[in-house]
Structure 1
């Protein structure tokens, strides 16, 4: 008996996690990957480079929880890794992940990367893949306080020493990993600290000014990231699941952070993704 089969190929499924810096994208990606047998492709344009783990705020080995990550610290620091390079490499990794019957999860704050990947007809992404977009969002005043604290933690963890190791006078801050927020801002201080005629108090003031610049530029980055996400929704008509995670990061939430994260962020995202993946027979999913 002949059975009619629809010749239209079922699109393969890819998950995107979007949001401003400091909103918990990496944590969410690992949580989803552990629930749905996923593997993660980094789409942060500074985290693709090798080195400066503290400055670029790369996810740590422990935080990965054994989940495989791609395009994380793979590219040589002085390379000019373009959006086209990202797209070509991301598609290779997406197919590699799908062949192993796992779920590709693309995560990062560089929306220009994912817009190019999804929208550029050269890559035929919309023709081949079905996308689930999750935007994890935090109210700006809460997020600004959070990233200010994070910069202070990065300084304590050795940010200045790490930047000093790659410091070159007259370096080109428009290429490679030196574009990272935290590198060009330290230029004046690193020049001044070698000045034997400079007094310690002056150097200390310059250092504090450099740290303030890192915080200010990170806040500007957040504004740009949010503007781009809004544009993708309004102009490109992306259907985005919007998760407001503000309450997770409020100061009075410190003691029950895990419970707040689970209830406010993780559980709704698990529900979205479960519905998205439910009818996909190309991957093996262990629903928990």
Structure 2
């Protein structure tokens, strides 16, 4: 860890899909002269705007945004690449005299950025091994790989859902290449911060959050999600690209193949989004020792509380109205 990074103030706004991270980040950026860095693993892709819930140019209100729409849909990207790219952006923003604000719900990206987890350690990657594992996953299914991981490293299997193909493959790759347990390499009990970071985790009452997610999916359909997903399907009908595995896109494959109705697709996206939100909340609750948990019941009150938290972190005394 570079010692000079430790002095850089960094605000992180995390939380589940549909909770309202982007809206709050804009208000904080306006208040504290901030610039926003995307921390969502699907919003890195260009042309995947509707299904990822990507912020629009109008919604940005002139606030600079980074690491949005800079990868093609067929390109792969991982936590170690994000750590390098985000760190570079954070340093540049700080040198401009502005406040870097990372916004996203991809827990592994956020955790890898904030703490020195050793992503991409020398000798832990082998493209040939990864390709072979990807081929086995495609041929045999995730359950087979998950059972293999469980037999080798029960601790890692307990933390990686069977549906998460990328994490399964990564864990098996690390074990095979290094000869060490993936869970041992992921132990972060003593979290050493890389930056002078302040983590805000947003939440809402469960029924409110789920209703927002359901309505958000319906709005995505109205905005043209089917056409966006179909363009992805035409590029990768075998669904072998990283971007095709994202919620909001993967559910369309049976529909385009005549095996599902539109109503079934919508219901699947809503259900998968709700389940993902629950997993995100569990991740942020369990994986981060220091965090400010902000349950939003009033937008104005949440913003006021967030400004107070950030001000105290930055040692800024807010003027009372």
What range describes the TM-score normalised by the shorter chain of this pair?
A: 0.7 to 0.9
Aligned with 1:191 (options 257, 274, 288): 257
Structure 1 residues 202-230: Cα deviation after superposition (integer angstroms, max 9, x where no partner): x8x71111111101100110111011011
CA drift of 1:166 comes to: 2.2
- Kindly state the Cα deviation for residue 182 of structure 1 after the two structures are TM-superposed: 1.6
Q: Give the whole-Å Cα distance in 2 for the aligned partners of 1:43 and 1:116.
A: 11
Q: Secondary structure at the match of 1:51?
A: coil
Query: What's 1:261 paired with?
Result: 299
Instruction: Mark the runs of 5 or more structure 2 residues left unpaired by the alignment.
Output: 120-190
Cα–Cα, structure 1 residues 88 and 170, in superposed 2: closer, same or farther, change >3 Å? closer
Which residue matches 1:275? 312
Residue in 2 that maps onto 1:196: none
How far does residue 8 in structure 1 lie from its aligned partner after superposition? 9.6
Residue 226 (structure 1) aligns with: 281
For 1:78 and 1:41, locate their aligned partners in 2 and report how far apart those are by CA, in whole Å.
22
- Once residues 189 and 109 of structure 1 are traced to their aligned partners in structure 2, the CA distance between those partners, rounded to angstroms, is 27
CA-CA distance at 1:144 after TM superposition = 0.8
Displacement of 1:42 in angstroms is: 0.3
Match of 2:203 among 137, 153, 158: 137
Q: Specify which of 102, 109, 121 is matched with residue 105 of structure 2.
A: 109
> Secondary structure at 1:219's aligned position in 2?
helix
The answer to whether the Cα contact below 8 Å between 2:38 and 2:102 also exists between their aligned partners in 1 is: yes
The structure that has the greater radius of gyration is 1
Structure-1 separation of matches of 2:102 and 2:235 = 36
- Residue 63 of structure 1 corresponds to 59
Rounded to whole Å, the distance in 1 between the matches of 2:291 and 2:194 is: 19
Q: Does 1:155 align with 2:151?
A: no
How far, CA to CA, are the matches of 1:178 and 1:142 in structure 2?
Answer: 28
- 1:148: Cα distance to partner? 0.5
**Alignment-derived partner of residue 123 in structure 2:** none
Aligned residues: 248
* Structure 2 counterpart of 1:4: none
Between the aligned partners of 1:16 and 1:152, the Cα distance in structure 2 is 28
Give the Cα separation in 2 of the matches to 1:211 and 1:10. Answer: 44
Q: TM-score, normalised by structure 2?
A: 0.71
